[in-house]
Amino acid sequence: MERRYCEEKKEVVAIAKKAYAEKLMAGTSGNMSICCPEEGHVIITPSGYDYEIMEEKDIVVIDLEGNVIEGIHKPSSEWRMHAEIYKELPAVRAIVHTHSPYATSFAVLHQEIPLILIEMIPFLKGAVEVSPYAAQGSVEVGKNAVPVLERKNACLMANHGALAVGASLSGAYINSVYLEDAARIYHMARCVGTPVILEEPEKGE
Ligand SMILES: [Zn+2]
């Protein structure tokens, strides 16, 4: 059988390992995917699998209803969140979900990360808002994040973790790095004083 999605699987493995090495994910937490909208397929990390030994053969291909098209493992337990975001937001082609510690600490506090750094404007599209809590693995995790991701490239999922999207997986990954960076700097600034918040740019600027 013709091997499909080789490039996508290779990219998912490479970026998953990079995110793990950068300590954006602990243990087997977190997940990421690429969407191929023409086929309606999602190339996604497997459920509960060690990033250090992950290879291309471990990556799972599902359709938007969760049927496994290809793969020897179960897809990530958060596949419904991924599918829901792809269904609702066609501009999103890749999703990176981590439990990166600084961003997740604000998700636990239900506190947004205000616009404090200029990089947050091009990469994250401004302040990072919190989406309401939903049970892990439920479609509501995705449904709750969609209204935020309609306007932004990142979102904090209440009592859960961080979410970043992009037109490519490398783009979504960079956004997740900037999200964690902004959260860490905001945390550090708040430890020693009161951060000055920038004004959100006008739409279309
Ligand atoms: Zn998670």
Query: Is residue 36 pLDDT above 50, yes or no?
Result: yes
Give the pLDDT mean for 177-193. 98
Of all residues in the chain, the percent with pLDDT exceeding 70 is 97
Residue 26 CA to ligand 1 center (angstroms) comes to 10
Residue 156 CA to ligand 1 center (angstroms) comes to 11
**pLDDT, tens digit, 9 for 90 and up, residues 116-131:** 999 999 999 999 999 9
Query: Is residue 99 pLDDT above 90, yes or no?
Result: yes
Residue 83 CA to ligand 1 center (angstroms) comes to 15
Average pLDDT for the chain: 96
Residue 1: band (very low, low, confident or very high) from pLDDT cuts 50, 70, 90: very low
Residue 202: band (very low, low, confident or very high) from pLDDT cuts 50, 70, 90: confident
Residue 154 CA to ligand 1 center (angstroms) comes to 14
Predicted model pTM: 0.96
Residue 203: band (very low, low, confident or very high) from pLDDT cuts 50, 70, 90: low
CA distance 24 to 152: 20
pLDDT of residue 163: 98
Give the pLDDT mean for 175-187. 98
Residue 106 CA to ligand 1 center (angstroms) comes to 15
Cβ pair 69, 56 in contact under 8 A: no
Residue 143 CA to ligand 1 center (angstroms) comes to 15
Query: Is residue 3 pLDDT above 80, yes or no?
Result: no
The shares of helix, strand and coil residues in the chain, as percent rounded to the nearest 5, are 40, 20, 40
Architecture of the domain delimited by 6-192: 3-Layer(aba) Sandwich (3.40)
Residue 194 CA to ligand 1 center (angstroms) comes to 30
**pLDDT, tens digit, 9 for 90 and up, residues 70-84:** 999 999 999 999 999
Cβ pair 83, 42 in contact under 8 A: yes
Of all residues in the chain, the percent with pLDDT exceeding 90 is 95
Cβ pair 129, 145 in contact under 8 A: no
pLDDT of residue 201: 80
Catalogue the active-site residues: 78
